[in-house]
Homo-oligomer: A and B are copies of this chain.
């Protein structure tokens, strides 16, 4: 898709909204020249901000609503009472075809509930998943689910593997991304029944060639595989544990450089090199969790991010639209379905899948 398309922005979601939403869109505008923006939210607050960015204002429209979803609202309550909220109307714009995708830094649970209700899941996908990518020793990997589904059966995990593979091809540009199932050991008998069943199903599937079996927590940062598939409970804990550990080491590093005069001098000399490291590991660079499996592209930005981080979330959404992500998932699922049906005809594979 190289023609112009529109991105709907929940202008009221996030700790620093609407300021960082508008400022972030202006940064994204320079990178994605084919995009129009639809700001949904309190027009009285959005207009004065847009006035500061005339080039952005020229490609933007504002849809006014006084309502917004609270950051701590229960998803079910937000779904019931937030029909006129900026978040809901931004999603509605995608469903109505006014926008190709939506980006919000608001309440994650509410966004997932509304997106699922309004956009529905893709054919062949039972449940959408939250995915994100992050730096590893070998480049970048993607992990899903990060919290949309606390308990997952084998079918869910297989569908996540398909979506993660397509995501890795589409956004990270890998031709043959490898896939691993997060577990507590690499031996076949390890882990919950659903994980072992998913492993059997993947081994018998069209993804078998790139399936690397079970991986463990340390394989995430090692980049052992390109796509890490897990349930939303474990994925959320792994993601946040990694973020917390990264913060801990950044703090240890800071304290170390401040601990003596020589260390301070050393920092002055190494400063340029550390600037590069900081850029590479900047959490804003990895901002933008994708809700995969919906009939529409929906990206969740970190609630506490700034304009730079929000611009990156817009960039991810734009990539998914430009590369026809959802169409590719549909094709891949059809291929997989055909292979699964072929496998079901062969008694040996069925037996293997039931182990």
Contact = CB atoms under 8 A, between A and B. Distances in A.
B236 A256 contact: no
Contacts of A270: 256-257, 262-263, 265-267, 270
Residue with the highest number of chain B CB atoms closer than 10 Å, among A74, A135, A230, A269 = A269
A347 interface: no
A248 interface: yes
Contact of A266 (B137, B192, B266): B266
A74 B269 contact: no
A53 interface: no
A218 B283 CA distance: 14
Nearest to A243: B218
B249 A246 contact: yes
Interface residues of A, number: 63
Interface in A262-285: 262-263, 265-274, 276-277, 280-281
A2 B297 CA distance: 66
B216 A237 contact: yes
Contacts of A147: 184
Nearest to A246: B245
Residue with the highest number of chain B CB atoms closer than 10 Å, among A137, A222, A232, A273 = A273
A124 B187 CA distance: 32
Interface string A244-266: 11111111110011011011011
A32 interface: no
Contacts of A217: 236-244
Contacts of A250: 249
B238 A241 contact: yes
A259 B273 contact: yes
Contact of A280 (B136, B189, B252): B252
A137 to B, nearest CB: 6
A265 B270 CA distance: 8
Sorted nearest first, the 10 A-B pairs with minimum C-beta distance are: A217-B240, A266-B270, A218-B244, A266-B269, A217-B241, A263-B273, A221-B244, A221-B248, A245-B245, A266-B266
